[in-house]
């Protein structure tokens, strides 16, 4: 192995994604079949359910990778990783400006992180990972079938609902006759829990259900390279036998202690402690990316959906009930056409309210979604909303 190419530090990267079209029936008439299509999804801008003119290339333009049919080749087929390299270094391998060990180091590709292969040479590969383009010694890269095997350990599977789908059923079981738990909309992404022949089980906030593969794109997400001057980590050039580590232990801090609420399901607005909705939204946004923990109320260490909005409002002197179901009856009911910043939007799991999000304006919400995504921003109708309540104003 070449010295000077591998270091031993802990790193945090962004994400490289590989895209595979899961189904084809809404695009070419195959798969589950036209008879079941109308029961599973409503399509936007498509006059006939089975359209020969439509195309399966509905992946996000921000995605990096290649497309294939996962019904045929699967998430981790070698075919999908022909132009992908994944670091197999003990900790990281350097990305250099030129193909030699004396060249300037541009970034670090940590173990399990991915890169797109631009040019595959004999000893060095020219790669692009995130915003970094440079050369990596191939001794430390898994490519093709080898990358597919490594991706099973380090990659995260998720799906994106096709952009032409305006409403897709999430069912309790793998059948069009099963109970509809909720509905999701086109363009939204969800973590994959299991993959079957015609269905994929996904996590929708803190609930789980099945969607028909014909309407979604499959993706495998890998961490990307970290630039040498990254604020997240400080690294020092070392050989494979040397160790230096600076772990990123910073997080978005909560300025208040964990909150509690009254048991009677009411909320209280203390005299003189009213707050503008803009301040409430601004406060909530600083916790984006923090973890989801079922039953939690800490905005930094972890909270669930109702714990999140409860703690946000508690910071401004408002006491909300502890569960989303109880929160869905407080405040003033408002129409979705009249949403304002700070409103709470509720969603049903099956027939019962089971999730809540905070409206931040421009058709978007911030919410503690699930353990895979944590606190995130979504369009307010990423799944079918049930009702909206106004706490302030």
Closest CA to 94 of 84, 108, 112: 108
- Catalytic annotation, pick one of 111, 137, 305, 315: 305
Per DSSP bridges, beta strands 165-171 and 199-204 are unpaired
| Residue 367 annotated among the catalytic residues of the structure | yes
Cα–Cα distance measured from residue 221 to residue 54, given in angstroms and rounded to the nearest whole number: 26
- What's the chain's length in residues? 393
What does DSSP assign to residue 213? G
Closest CA to 154 of 248, 67, 73, 76: 76
| Residue 305 annotated among the catalytic residues of the structure | yes
Task: Quickly tell me which residue has 């079209």 as its tokens.
Answer: 21
- Catalytic annotation, pick one of 137, 167, 303, 355: 355
- Catalytic annotation, pick one of 111, 137, 303, 367: 367
The CA dihedral of 24, 26, 32, 36, to the nearest 10 degrees, is: 170
The CA dihedral of 97, 142, 244, 222, to the nearest 10 degrees, is: 90
CA atoms within 13 A on the CB side of 154: 24
Neighbour tally for 75: CB within 10 Å: 23
| Residue 315 annotated among the catalytic residues of the structure | no
Residues 6+ apart with CB under 8 A from 259: 297, 310, 311, 314, 315
Cα–Cα distance measured from residue 131 to residue 274, given in angstroms and rounded to the nearest whole number: 44
Q: What is the DSSP string of 79-104?
A: GGGTTEEEE-SSSEEEEESSSSTTSP
| First and final C-alpha spacing in the chain | 65
Cα–Cα distance measured from residue 143 to residue 180, given in angstroms and rounded to the nearest whole number: 41
* 3-class SS of residue 31: coil
Residues 6+ apart with CB under 8 A from 352: 325
Q: Residues with catalytic annotation? A: 305, 355, 367
């Amino acid at each position: 192995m070449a010295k000077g190419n591998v270091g031993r530090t802990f790193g945090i990267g962004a994400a490289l994604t590989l895209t595979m079209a899961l189904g084809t029936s809404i695009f070419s008439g195959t798969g589950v079949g036209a008879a079941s299509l109308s029961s599973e999804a409503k399509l936007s801008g498509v006059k006939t359910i089975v359209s020969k003119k439509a195309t399966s290339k509905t992946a996000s333009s921000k995605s990096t990778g290649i497309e294939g049919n996962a019904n045929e080749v699967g998430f981790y087929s070698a075919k999908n990783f022909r132009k992908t390299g994944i670091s197999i270094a003990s900790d990281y391998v350097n990305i250099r400006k030129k193909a030699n060990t004396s060249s300037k180091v541009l970034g670090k590709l940590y173990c399990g992180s991915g890169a797109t292969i631009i040019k595959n040479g004999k000893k060095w590969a020219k790669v692009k990972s995130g915003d970094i383009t440079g050369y990596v010694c191939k001794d430390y890269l898994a490519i093709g079938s080898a990358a597919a095997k490594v991706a099973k350990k380090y990659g995260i599977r998720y799906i994106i609902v096709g952009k032409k789908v305006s409403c897709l059923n999430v069912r309790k079981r793998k059948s069009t006759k099963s109970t509809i738990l909720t509905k999701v909309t086109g363009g939204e992404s969800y973590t994959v829990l299991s993959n079957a022949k015609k269905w994929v089980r996904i996590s929708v906030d803190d609930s789980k259900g099945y969607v028909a593969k014909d309407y979604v794109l499959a993706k495998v997400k890998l961490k990307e390279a970290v630039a040498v001057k990254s604020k997240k980590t400080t690294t020092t050039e070392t050989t494979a036998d040397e160790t230096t580590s600076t772990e990123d232990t910073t997080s978005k801090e909560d300025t208040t202690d964990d909150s509690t609420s009254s048991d009677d399901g009411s909320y209280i607005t203390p005299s003189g402690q009213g707050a503008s909705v803009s301040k409430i939204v601004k406060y909530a946004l600083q916790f984006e990316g923090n973890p989801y923990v079922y039953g939690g109320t800490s905005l930094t260490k972890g909270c669930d959906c109702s714990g999140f909005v409860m703690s946000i409002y508690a910071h401004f002197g408002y006491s909300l009930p502890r569960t989303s179901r109880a929160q869905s009856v407080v405040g003033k009911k408002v129409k979705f056409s009249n949403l304002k910043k700070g409103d709470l939007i509720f969603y049903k799991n099956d027939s019962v309210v089971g999730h809540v999000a905070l409206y931040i304006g421009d058709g978007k919400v911030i919410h503690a979604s699930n353990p895979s995504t944590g606190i995130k921003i979504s369009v307010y109708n990423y799944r079918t909303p049930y009702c909206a309540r106004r706490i302030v104003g």
